[in-house]
């Protein structure tokens, strides 16, 4: 559906038939045009105030554009009108969770209406954690997993919560594997979670155990090769990769290219990546192609990342009424004890959920300021460049696809990483140690943001840019660009980060 077709459909929605309105409105949601639908849905709730489907439609449109307050009001009304509708009950609980409101009771209500819905059970666990009851979340998941040991989504959720509570992450998985030792999905998830936890020795042991039980499996050999490469055993990695089939997904290509770069074979990485780059819908491959181009002296890396306008530094401290108050508010949201799995945080914690969907006044004001600055940054980006991941033709609408706060403590840092699910990524500095708060600090670069550096793979490669942190400073950069931070000796470094989704290109 094109934008013109979507707008034509909206014009045709003036109807006295609520069912028709709902059906065609869902078509617009599925076609990713919630911004066009939202004003029509608002009007429809006044036209059909007692029809739960119309309020449900408004909730869906508001949620899709990130308006949590309006989505919550709409689903609250829909739930009042249709108290036994399981889908509305689940949506009501979900938007309450996203808005930062108490939601475990709403998830319990949804569970009674749909007791076997795994998404509801996972939502209840997230609500327990948000409300400071991670222990109960773990207990409830473990009870379910005892009866349903093949529920991989439940194992993943349990592992994530246990890891953030400083507990052994794979307890439920090991119990399930003991019951079902030949189940490949459990084995694969176990290895993957240990990799996400950066426990390479344990991942290696899990792979060896899986080989003993399952024999040679292409996916298992590929994972074992990746583990060997990450551990620095390049000879073993080469031997294992040589036994695997030609990669058939961008995910596998990214791991193979990662190994080639670590082994200092950039020409191999370039040849592989360039074959696949047009199929790289999730932008997993561009970060590795940038590294390989820089290693070979290929000037195309400058086309990809060299234009200074791709990175924006915006000092917003004067736009905040109370930056210290925002820091205090965020500090209360850091309820975990350890960093989440598969994230860049080292020596700190990260908030759960999509932070900028929360409904508190401080967060609503923050979101508005950040989106305003993103719009300013997008307006000054270079013109459209065919094939460029950061310079698409269509740049509206700008939606936040994910957001969080990170609180680093003494010697904390971010490892170098990328955000494959974003278009633009960010760092907003909210609180800094005294040693980092004074502009013009010496050249040690403690706590600074590093762009274009991947020290795990290429410690000798210089960053493209180093940016000094300052309270109230927002940095925007391409999501495909490697970024991390330098460690700092002591204190608290708290940031807000978010990704802007790639706009629809139709």
Q: What residues pair up with 500 in beta bridges, in sequence order?
A: 400, 424
Q: Are 486 and 448 in contact (CB under 8 A)?
A: yes
Both 359 and 425 in a single domain?
A: yes
Last residue of a domain, one of 306, 328, 350: 306
In this structure, the answer to whether residues 380 and 409 fall within a common structural domain is yes
Window from 80-89, 265-274, 433-442 with minimum mean pLDDT = 433-442
The one-character DSSP state at 304 is I
The CA angle 212-218-222, to the nearest 5 degrees, is: 90
Residues 445 and 297 in one domain: no
The mean of the pLDDT values for the chain is: 93
pLDDT at 440: 53
418, pLDDT greater than 80: yes
Question: Is residue 259 domain-shared with residue 324, that is, in the same domain?
Answer: no
Using the CB atoms, write b or e for 398-410: b if 16+ within 10 Å: bbbbbbbbbbbee
Other C-beta atoms lying within 10 Å of the C-beta of residue 361: 8
In a domain, 325, yes or no: yes
Of the two residues 365 and 3, the one the predictor is more confident about is 365
Q: Which pLDDT does position 17 carry in this prediction?
A: 81
Percent of the residues in the chain that have a pLDDT greater than 70, as a whole number: 97
Q: Are residues 382 and 433 in the same domain?
A: yes
pLDDT, position 492 = 87
476-489, pLDDT tens digit by residue? 999 999 999 888 88
CA distance 199 to 214: 22
Residue 438 has pLDDT above 60, yes or no: no
Q: 379 and 466 in one domain?
A: yes
The pTM of this model reads: 0.93
Residue 408 parent element (H or E): strand 400-414
Which residue range(s) make up the domain with 467? 308-500
- Residue 6 confidence (pLDDT): 77
> Considering the chain, what percentage of its residues have pLDDT values greater than 90?
81
Q: Is residue 402 part of a domain?
A: yes
Residue 505 lies in a domain: no
Take residue 416 and report the two structure tokens written for it: 């170098």
Residue holding tokens 């278009």? Answer: 423
What is the distance between the alpha carbons of residues 270 and 73, in angstroms, rounded to a whole number? 51
pLDDT given at position 214: 96
Same domain, 253 and 371: no
Lowest mean pLDDT among 16-30, 36-50, 79-93, 186-200: 16-30
pLDDT higher than 60, residue 396: yes
The reported pLDDT for the residue numbered 339 is 85
* Whether the predicted pLDDT of 316 surpasses 70: yes
List C-alpha distances in Å: 391 to 281, 377, 464: 15, 12, 19
Q: Does residue 496 surpass a pLDDT of 80?
A: yes
Task: Say which CATH number the domain at 486 has.
Answer: 2.60.120.620
Inside any domain, residue 445: yes
Task: State CA 353 to chain mean position distance.
Answer: 9
Last residue of a domain, one of 306, 323, 355: 306
Cβ-based burial of 17 (10 A; exposed 0-12, middle 13-18, buried ≥19): exposed
Neighbours of 296 (CB within 10 A): 13
Q: Give how many domains the chain has, as a whole number.
A: 2
pLDDT in the model for residue 9: 77
> Cβ(500)–Cβ(422) under 8 Å?
yes
- Summarize pLDDT for 203-242 with one digit per residue, the tens: 999 999 999 999 999 999 999 999 999 999 999 999 999 9
The whole-angstrom separation of Cα 1 and Cα 191 is 41
Those residues whose C-beta lies under 8 Å from the C-beta of residue 432, and which sit 6 or more positions away, are 447, 469, 470, 471, 491, 492, 493, 494
Query: Quick check: is 13 in a domain?
Result: no
Q: How does residue 342 score in pLDDT terms, banded at 50, 70 and 90?
A: confident
Span 252-297, pLDDT tens digits: 999 999 999 999 999 999 999 999 999 998 899 999 999 999 999 9
pLDDT digits (tens, 9 = 90+) for 458-467: 999 999 999 9
Residues 365 and 271 in one domain: no
Q: State how far the Cα of 226 lies from the Cα of 237, in Å rounded to an integer.
A: 7
Q: Is 467 helix (H, G, I), strand (E, B) or coil?
A: strand
Inform me whether the pLDDT recorded for 336 exceeds 90: no
Q: What angle do CA 17, 22, 24 make, to 5 degrees?
A: 95
Instruction: Give the CA count within 13 Å in the CB-facing half-sphere of 280.
Output: 24
Q: How many CB atoms lie under 10 A from the CB of residue 178?
A: 9
Question: In b/e form, how buried is each residue of 129-142, taking b as 16+ CB within 10 angstroms?
Answer: bbbebbeebbebbe
For residues 149-153, average pLDDT: 97
* Alpha helical stretches, state H, 263-360: 266-276, 286-296, 300-301, 323-333
Structural domain contains residue 221: no
Contacts of 92 (CB under 8 A, 6+ apart): 72, 75, 76, 78, 79, 106, 110
End residue of a domain, out of 264, 290, 306: 306
From residue 308, how far is each of 27, 255, 299, 486 by CA, in Å?
A: 40, 29, 15, 21
Residue 437 has pLDDT above 80, yes or no: no
Among 11-20, 52-61, 156-165, 325-334, the range scoring the smallest mean pLDDT is 11-20
Q: Is residue 48 part of a domain?
A: no
Cis preceding-peptide flag for 462 (omega within 30 of 0): no
How confident is the model at residue 286, as a pLDDT?
A: 97
Between 251 and 420, where is the model more confident? 251
Higher pLDDT, 7 or 323: 323
pLDDT band (50, 70, 90) for residue 443: low
Is the domain of 278 the same as that of 423?
no
Whether the CB-CB separation of 114 and 90 falls below 8 Å is answered with yes
Per-residue pLDDT averaged across 301-320, rounded? Answer: 96
At residue 445, the pLDDT reads 86
Quote the CA–CA distance of 180 and 152 in Å, as a whole number. 13
Task: Identify the pLDDT of residue 37.
Answer: 92
Lowest mean per-residue pLDDT among 29-43, 144-158, 188-202, 368-382:
29-43
**Same domain membership, residue 351 and residue 263:** no
| 469 and 358 together in one domain | yes
Same domain (yes/no): 449, 466? yes
Give the tokens for residue 351: 């908030």
Whether residue 41 lies inside any domain: the answer is: no
């Amino acid at each position: 559906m094109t934008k013109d077709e979507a707008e034509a459909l909206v014009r045709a929605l003036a109807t006295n038939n609520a069912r028709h309105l709902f059906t065609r409105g869902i078509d617009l949601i599925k076609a990713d045009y919630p911004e066009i639908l939202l004003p029509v849905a608002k009007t429809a709730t006044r036209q059909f105030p007692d029809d739960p489907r119309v309020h449900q439609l408004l909730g869906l449109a508001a949620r899709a554009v990130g308006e949590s307050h309006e989505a919550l009001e709409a689903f609250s009304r829909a739930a009042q009108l249709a108290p036994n509708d399981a889908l509305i009950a689940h949506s009501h609980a979900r938007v309450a969770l996203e808005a930062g409101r108490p939601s475990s009771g709403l998830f319990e209500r949804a569970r009674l209406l749909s007791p076997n819905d795994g998404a509801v059970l996972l939502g209840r666990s997230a609500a327990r954690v948000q409300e400071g009851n991670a222990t109960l979340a773990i207990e409830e998941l473990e009870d379910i997993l005892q009866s349903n040991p093949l529920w991989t989504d439940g194992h993943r959720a349990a592992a994530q919560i246990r890891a953030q509570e400083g507990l052994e992450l794979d307890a439920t998985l090991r119990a399930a594997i003991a019951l079902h030792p030949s189940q490949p999905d459990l084995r694969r998830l176990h290895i993957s979670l240990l990799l996400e936890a950066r426990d390479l020795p344990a991942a290696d042991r899990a792979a060896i155990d899986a080989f003993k039980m399952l024999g040679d499996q292409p996916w298992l050999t590929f994972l074992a090769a990746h583990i060997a490469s990450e551990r620095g055993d390049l000879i073993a990695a080469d031997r294992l990769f040589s036994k695997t089939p030609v990669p058939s997904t961008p995910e596998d290509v990214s791991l193979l290219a990662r190994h080639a770069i670590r082994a200092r074979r950039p020409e191999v990485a370039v040849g592989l990546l360039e074959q696949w780059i047009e199929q790289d819908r999730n932008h997993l491959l561009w970060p590795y192609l940038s590294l390989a181009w820089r290693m070979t002296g290929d000037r195309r890396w400058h086309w990809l990342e060299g234009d200074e306008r791709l990175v924006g530094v915006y000092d917003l401290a004067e736009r905040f009424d109370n930056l210290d108050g925002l820091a205090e508010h965020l500090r209360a949201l850091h309820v975990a004890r350890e960093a989440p799995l598969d994230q860049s945080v080292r020596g700190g914690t990260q908030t759960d959920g999509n932070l900028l969907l929360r409904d508190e006044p401080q967060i609503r004001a923050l979101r508005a300021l950040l989106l305003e600055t993103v719009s300013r940054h997008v307006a000054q980006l270079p013109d459209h460049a065919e094939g460029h991941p950061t310079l698409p033709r269509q740049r509206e609408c700008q939606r936040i696809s994910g957001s969080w706060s990170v609180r680093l403590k003494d010697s904390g840092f971010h490892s170098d990483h990328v955000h494959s699910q974003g278009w633009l990524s960010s760092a907003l500095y909210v609180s800094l140690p005294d040693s980092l708060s004074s502009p013009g600090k010496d050249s040690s670069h403690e706590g600074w943001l590093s762009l274009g550096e991947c020290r795990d793979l290429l410690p000798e490669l210089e960053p493209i840019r180093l940016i000094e942190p300052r309270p109230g400073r927002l940095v925007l950069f391409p999501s495909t660009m490697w970024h991390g931070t330098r460690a700092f000796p002591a204190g608290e470094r708290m940031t807000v980060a978010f990704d802007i989704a790639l706009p629809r290109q139709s």
